[in-house]
């Protein structure tokens, strides 16, 4: 739906897409605010315990809507192009499964959508942590039987590849009236962050954002490793102080531990 809105928003006037948009809007508003008033729908949702509860859409109804949406995509031109199917990529299972308690919920999720996964001309890609197939998909024979390709294991990008990706992003974001841009950080900063976060690009880019947010003035040159790590340290320390009210003694202990590259629990007990 979001893709159609970006490519050709006038298609959203179609009766089917209007209904689907209402479902999306209602779901998102309830999730964000805990209540929503739907004009003309006959429902009034709010936090009042006596009010009508949000309508429950069964998997069968959602499946019917989804089939209709796929049919719409195949029959209609979208921004001058015809499409023969749909690719659905579902990301961030690494985040969802960072808590052991959510494993059962994810397994239930795949059991619930098993029939939807078999729809013709729809291709699903799931992005998750290592052993995602083994720990989640393979545990249910009913679900496992419909997966016909072995999982692809993607190794983390190398240091140089992340630098290349960063440069490509700079080019894509470059304004049309700018002849040349200044790289915000030196390549060595990416290398240092790569070592710090063991190649996790999400953490690396988050750290780059934190570094640049500390810059009050416009950059006239790329930030060096020392400048960048100092800014990152200030940002992280600021977050600690906001979250926890440390005493001066506690700050001294924490600073000592930070300055040590490696220290055992036994050493900590002995020193303090």
Confidence of residue 53 (pLDDT cuts 50, 70, 90): low
Q: So what's the pLDDT on residue 190?
A: 95
Residue 48 is predicted with a pLDDT of 46
Q: What is the b/e burial string over 173-184, where b = at least 16 CB atoms within 10 angstroms of the residue's CB? A: eeeeeeeeeeeb
Specify whether the CB–CB gap between 106 and 138 falls below 8 A: no
Stated length of the chain: 272
pTM given for the model: 0.62
Q: Please tell me the predicted confidence (pLDDT) of residue 121.
A: 94
The arithmetic mean of pLDDT across residues 51-79, rounded, is 83
**Rounded Cα distance, 139 and 145, in Å:** 11
User: Would you state the pLDDT for residue 39?
Assistant: 40
What was the pLDDT predicted at 10?
94
pLDDT band at residue 147, thresholds of 50, 70 and 90?
confident
Contacts 24+ apart (CB under 8 A), 185-188: 185/211, 185/212, 185/222, 185/223, 185/228, 186/222, 186/223, 186/224, 186/225, 186/228, 187/163, 188/224, 188/225
* Neighbouring-strand partners of residue 37: 44
Does residue 173 have a pLDDT over 80? yes
Mean pLDDT throughout 101-121? Answer: 90
Q: How far apart are CA 99 and CA 182, in angstroms?
A: 40
Q: Is pLDDT of 38 > 50?
A: no
**CA-angle at 155, arms to 152 and 156, nearest 5°:** 135
DSSP for residue 209: H
Q: Would you tell me how many other CB atoms lie within 10 Å of the CB of residue 252? A: 12
pLDDT tens digits along 219-260: 889 999 999 999 999 999 888 888 888 888 888 888 888 888
Nearest to 3 by CA among 64, 61, 65, 81: 81
């Amino acid at each position: 739906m979001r893709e159609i809105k970006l490519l050709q928003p006038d298609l959203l006037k179609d009766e089917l897409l209007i209904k689907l948009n209402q479902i999306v809007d209602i779901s998102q508003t309830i999730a964000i605010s805990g209540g929503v008033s739907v004009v003309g729908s006959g429902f009034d949702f709010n936090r009042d315990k006596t009010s009508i509860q949000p309508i429950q859409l069964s998997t069968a109804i959602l499946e019917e809507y989804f089939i209709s949406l796929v049919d719409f995509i195949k029959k209609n031109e979208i921004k001058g192009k015809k499409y023969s199917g749909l690719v659905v990529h579902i990301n961030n299972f690494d985040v969802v499964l960072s808590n052991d308690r959510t494993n059962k919920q994810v397994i239930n999720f795949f059991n619930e959508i098993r029939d939807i996964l078999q729809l013709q001309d729809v291709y699903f890609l799931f992005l998750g942590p290592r052993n995602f197939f083994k720990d989640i998909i393979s545990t249910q024979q009913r679900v496992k039987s419909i997966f016909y390709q072995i999982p692809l294991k993607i190794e983390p990008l190398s240091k140089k590849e992340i630098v290349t990706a960063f440069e490509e992003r700079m080019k894509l974001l470059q304004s049309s009236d700018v002849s040349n841009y200044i790289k915000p950080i030196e390549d060595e900063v990416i290398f240092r962050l790569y070592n710090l976060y063991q190649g996790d690009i999400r953490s690396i880019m988050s750290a780059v954002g934190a570094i640049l947010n500390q810059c009050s003035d416009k950059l006239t040159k790329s930030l060096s490793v020392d400048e960048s790590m100092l800014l990152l340290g200030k940002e992280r320390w600021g977050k600690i102080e906001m979250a926890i009210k440390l005493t001066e003694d506690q700050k001294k202990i924490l600073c000592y531990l930070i300055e040590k590259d490696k220290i055992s629990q036994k050493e900590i007990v002995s020193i303090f």
